[in-house]
Amino acid sequence: MIQVGIIGAGRIGKVHLQSISYQVKNATVKAVADPFMNDETRAFLESFGVKDIYTDYKKILADPEIDAVLICSSTDTHAAISIEAIEAGKHVFCEKPVDHSIEKINAVKKALAGKNLKFQVGFNRRFDHNFAAIRAAVDAGKIGDPHIVKITSRDPEPPNPAYIKVSGGIFLDMTIHDFDMACFLVNSQVDEIYVNSAVLVDPAIGEQGDVDTAIITMKMKNGALAVIDNSRRAAYGYDQRAEVFGSKGMVATSNDTLSSAVIADENGVTGEKPLYFFLERYMQSFATEMNQFIDAIVNDTEPPVGIEAGLQSVLIALAAKKSVAEHRPVKLEELL
C-alpha cells in the first residue's frame, strides 16, 4: 500500500484525494498539508480518513512513512517543493505546469537524475477516453502517417482578472494542456510555432497584457502540422475536440454531454451542451492518471508523463509568448 501525502488542498488536491480513496487500488492518502487549512477542509479530509492534516507541507516530506507526494500547490511553488520532495526520497506527482521557467524545470530534472524516483506531471487529458482513443487509432496505424493535428479548446468562462495576472498568461495556463495534447496525439515534439491572437472576449484580459482568443499553428518534429484554437469563453460551455488527419484517414472526437437526449420540436432538434468545465469533463481522467502514477511506483516502471513532457509543454508556451511579442514564427530551439 503506497502512502500518499497531498500538498495543497484546493480543488485539484481534493479531486486526487477522492480518486485515490475511491478508485485507486494500491494507495491511501495518509497526510494533507495546506497553509490555508480551515475547518471545512479539515472536516472534508477527515471524512476520507486522512490521518495527518498539516499547514506546513514540510511535515509531509519529513514523514518516513510517506512514499509519494502530490504537489497541488500554486504553480510558483511546484519546482521548489518538487526538489525538496525528491531530496526527501519521495515519488512526485506534480500538477502542470511544473514551472514557468525552463531553468527551474531543469533544476528539477537535475534533482531527479540518478535517483530511482518516479516523477509524473498532471497532464490528465492524456488519460481521457476520447483523446486516448485518438492516440490508440494513430498508434494502430488507422490513419496512416499523421499530416494534420487539430485541437479545439475553449473554456466556458475566463478566470478572474486577479488570477490572470499570476497565471503566466493563456499559453502557460490554458493552452499548455493543448500543447501537451498535440504532442501526445501524434507522439512528437514541436519544432516551430506561430500564434495569431486577439483580445475579443474581455478587454480586461488585454489590460493584463494577455490575450483571450488564439489560433496557434505548429510544425511538429515528425513533419505534421498542428493547429489549436482557443477562446476563454464559449457561450455553450467547455469545447474540447480533437482530430488527427493522415495519409490513410482521419480520427476525430466530439464533446461529451450529460446525456444523449435530443429534443425535436418546432425549434429544431436540440441536444445537450458539452459538460460544463474540466472537473465535470475530465473526472475519469484524474482517476486514471493517479492509478497509473501509483502503478508506476508499485511496478517500478516509467510514469506515463515524465519531466520531459513537462518541460516540452512549457517550452512551447514560452515560444508562443515570444511569437506574439515578436509577431513571427519562433523555433523552440531559440529558447534553449
**Scanning residues 260 to 319, which ones bind a copy of itself (CB under 8 A)?**
260-273
Distance of CA 264 to the CA centre of its chain: 37
> Given candidates 45, 214, 316, 319, which one binds a copy of itself under the rule CB under 8 A?
214
Nearer to a copy of itself, 108 or 251 (CB): 251
Contact by Cβ (8 Å): 226, 136:
no
Candidate segments 59-67, 79-87, 89-97, 208-216, binder of a copy of itself by CB under 8 A: 208-216
Instruction: Report the amino acid identity of residue 113.
Output: A
Nearer to a copy of itself, 70 or 195 (CB): 195
Nearer to a copy of itself, 55 or 222 (CB): 222
Cβ-based burial of 293 (10 A; exposed 0-12, middle 13-18, buried ≥19): buried
Nearer to a copy of itself, 1 or 166 (CB): 1
Nearer to a copy of itself, 76 or 333 (CB): 333
The verdict on 189 binding a copy of itself (CB under 8 A) reads no
Distance CA(69)–CA(251), nearest Å, equals 36
Contact by Cβ (8 Å): 48, 18:
yes
Query: Smallest gap, in angstroms, from Cβ of residue 212 to a copy of itself?
Result: 9
Query: Smallest gap, in angstroms, from Cβ of residue 33 to a copy of itself?
Result: 25
Residues in Cβ contact with 327 at an 8 Å cutoff, skipping those fewer than 6 apart: none
Length of the chain: 336
Residue 76 main-chain phi, psi, to 5 deg: -65, -10
> Given candidates 234, 294, 307, 318, which one binds a copy of itself under the rule CB under 8 A?
234
Query: Smallest gap, in angstroms, from Cβ of residue 48 to a copy of itself?
Result: 11
Q: Could you tell me which of 168, 146, 155 has the C-alpha nearest to residue 221?
A: 146
The verdict on 23 binding a copy of itself (CB under 8 A) reads yes
Strands (DSSP E) found in 109-198: 119-121, 146-154, 190-198
Q: Which residues, numbered 137-176, are part of the site for a copy of itself (CB under 8 A)?
A: 137, 142-145, 147-148, 150, 152, 154
Query: Smallest gap, in angstroms, from Cβ of residue 224 to a copy of itself?
Result: 8
Size of the site for a copy of itself (CB under 8 A): 71
Nearer to a copy of itself, 166 or 263 (CB): 263
Nearer to a copy of itself, 84 or 229 (CB): 229
> Given candidates 49, 328, 333, 334, which one binds a copy of itself under the rule CB under 8 A?
328
Distance CA(179)–CA(177), nearest Å, equals 5
Contact by Cβ (8 Å): 78, 94:
yes
Q: Name the one residue in this structure whose C-alpha cell is 528539477.
A: 108
